[in-house]
């Protein structure tokens, strides 16, 4: 038995892995490494998209020189300025009306609604203290 075991150990030490097994192991290793590459591509794509968005956000806007080159656009910008001024005036007027209405409503609540409410609380307190039934 010892001789058989010694011979088996010698044979196993001399044994080499077949090429097909090595190829299969290399194939499995490559398959396991592919997801990390895809993550790298995703990170690169996200970075490129963010760079593109930042570039668009920082893109220069039309300047006064460009407006001078295109006089038809100057008229539209003057119309826009006039519309903005009229809108500002209309919103100011509406704000003034709302402030006046809130002051009027405050006076009505203080003068007409609050005294009866205060009296009813006072009457309820007195009735509870004196144990008078209505």
pLDDT tens per residue, range 1-26? 678 888 888 887 887 878 888 888 88
pLDDT at 93 over 60: yes
- pTM for the full model? 0.34
The tally of domains found in the chain comes to 2
> Is 121 contained in some domain?
yes
Task: Report if residue 65 sits inside a domain.
Answer: no
**Do residues 76 and 130 both lie within one domain?**
yes
Per DSSP, helices labelled H in 1-134 are 2-14, 19-57, 64-69, 71-108, 114-130
Q: How many angstroms from the chain centroid is the CA of residue 103?
A: 39
Residue 116 lies in a domain: yes
Q: CA of 22: how far to CAs of 19, 32, 74, 77, in Å? A: 5, 16, 75, 74
The answer to whether residues 128 and 94 belong to one domain is yes
Return the pLDDT at 133: 53
Would 4 be classed as within a structural domain?
Answer: yes
**Is residue 78 domain-shared with residue 115, that is, in the same domain?**
yes
Residue 12 lies in domain: 1-59
User: Does residue 51 sit within a domain?
Assistant: yes
């Amino acid at each position: 038995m010892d001789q058989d075991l010694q011979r088996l150990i010698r044979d196993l030490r001399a044994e080499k892995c077949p090429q097909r097994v090595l190829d299969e192991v290399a194939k499995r290793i490559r398959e396991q490494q592919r997801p990390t590459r895809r993550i790298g591509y995703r990170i690169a794509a996200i970075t490129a998209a963010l760079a593109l968005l930042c570039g668009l956000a920082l893109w220069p806007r039309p300047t006064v020189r460009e407006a001078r080159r295109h006089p038809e656009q100057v008229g539209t910008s003057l119309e826009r300025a006039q519309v903005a001024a009229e809108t500002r005036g209309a919103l100011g007027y509406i704000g003034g009306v709302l402030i006046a209405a809130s002051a009027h409503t405050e006076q009505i609540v203080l003068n007409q609604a609050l005294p009866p409410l205060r009296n009813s609380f006072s009457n309820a307190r007195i009735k509870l203290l004196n144990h008078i039934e209505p």
